[in-house]
Amino acid sequence: MKVNKLVVLLCLLFTAQLHAQTPTQRTINTFMSDRFGMFIHWGPVTLRGTEIGWSRDKEVPMEDYDSLYKEFNPALFNADAWVKTAKDAGMRYLTITARHHDGFCLWPTKYTAYNISNTPYKKDILKALQVACKKQGIKLCIYYSVLDWHHPDYPIHSAHNGKIDPHANMQRYVAFMKNQLKELIVNYDPFMLWFDGQWESPWTDSLGREIYTYVKSIKPGIITNNRLGKKFAAMENKAIDPAEMVGDYDTPERAVGRLNMTMPWESSFTICQQWAWKPNDHLQSLKTILAILSKTAGGNGNLLLNVGPMSDGRIEARQVKRLQEIGDWLKINGTAVYNTYGGPYEATANYATTRKGNKIYLHVLNTDTAALVLPALPGAKVVGAHTMTGQSVTVNTGSEGIQVSLPERLKGKLQYVVVLELDKDAMTLPVVKL
């Protein structure tokens, strides 16, 4: 009888705690436990193989760039195949550039003719992805650019010419944004909105807060990144004051975020060099990407890894293969990534750590060394250690700290994880900044 009462009490406590959270907190918790998502930069610019938005009025003359949609016919686009590629990579969500800085829309929006329905392809890319994501259990997220160099009411019309157009009208432009955002939320039910492009002078934090409040009024549980406002970590990986952010989580870019147990963050990286597809672009090695994945999880953050599909709608076979290799690694080591917390040790070139329950997951990045020495853990003892496949690992705690002797047979191999069993909950340990 006592056990039943305990179970009921625990259920009541869990439910109460859940309801104590706001819809945003609940969604953020789910998002941060997912740890790994696919970023997709795609649009008519892939017909030229140059960078989306940024090559307009540079490598590609503005008029040519803005006419590419008339040729855009990704006949080999297969939403199920894209989503399966993300799922096989171990990714839990997918973020697509529904409208990047060039203003082209991948859905049949009512608010501008510059959209997929007026291309030879005609069909709704976003709807196909929404259906495929739902079918395969992947969260659909939407990238939406705050700036739009193509729209007549946005005052700046090129990345390479900041001249303000006196005929533009920001009030009309913000109304246009709100109409499109309502269209996107109501018709495609995204899990998250990934804003971008807020650095130019026409945009202000106050407009960012107006849009943030607006999207939450349509879907209270939706979350956004912090690129509705001017404060975000970006490529400099700046330390941001949460009070100054507009949005729910921070966005380091092409950099692993800082270990932070209170501020949610997600780092975006490219699997190649360019965001949009580029012929013969350099493909990142598996070693490089896995180290980034372990370090982002080790920092208590997410990794959003970008792929750039080709103009015919396919993702390059070599990118699909790399993603499959990441998924194969996660099949063995996913417990050390998904639904874990970062730390307690800050990542180094040799290792990263995540934790859950009484376990610390030691991600061994430098497999050429015979041992790793970790700083002592205050008030905790390592009572056992093994690889994810159960092979015992020798650990000695002494004056210099915790020495983990790495298995000889794994020397020089791909990174792997050693599980350190503790005599207490790993979440009670303070962060160890090195």
Cβ 39 to ligand FHN, closest distance in Å? 7
Closer residue to ligand FHN (CB): 57 or 253: 253
What's the rounded Cα separation, in Å, for the pair 404 and 364? 10
Closer residue to ligand FHN (CB): 140 or 372: 140
Closer residue to ligand FHN (CB): 52 or 185: 52
What's the rounded Cα separation, in Å, for the pair 110 and 105? 10
Closer residue to ligand FHN (CB): 202 or 407: 202
What's the rounded Cα separation, in Å, for the pair 103 and 407? 53
Cβ 253 to ligand FHN, closest distance in Å? 5
Closer residue to ligand FHN (CB): 82 or 329: 82
What's the rounded Cα separation, in Å, for the pair 46 and 68? 9
What's the rounded Cα separation, in Å, for the pair 54 and 283? 21
What's the rounded Cα separation, in Å, for the pair 243 and 38? 28
Cβ 51 to ligand FHN, closest distance in Å? 7
The CA-atom distances, in angstroms, between 201 and each of 53, 146, 205, 283 are 18, 12, 11, 35
Contact 301, 257 (CB under 8 A): yes
User: Which residue type, as a one-letter code, is found at position 342?
Assistant: G
306 backbone dihedrals φ, ψ, rounded to 5° = -90, 135
What's the rounded Cα separation, in Å, for the pair 164 and 162? 6
- Which positions touch ligand FHN (CB under 6 A)? 52-53, 196, 253, 268, 275
Cβ 229 to ligand FHN, closest distance in Å? 14
Cβ 43 to ligand FHN, closest distance in Å? 11
* Contacts of residue 60, Cβ cutoff 8 Å, sequence gap at least 6: 45, 48, 50, 68
Cβ 391 to ligand FHN, closest distance in Å? 39
Closer residue to ligand FHN (CB): 97 or 340: 97
Closer residue to ligand FHN (CB): 34 or 196: 196
Q: Measured at CB, which residue is nearest to ligand FHN?
A: 268
Cβ 58 to ligand FHN, closest distance in Å? 13
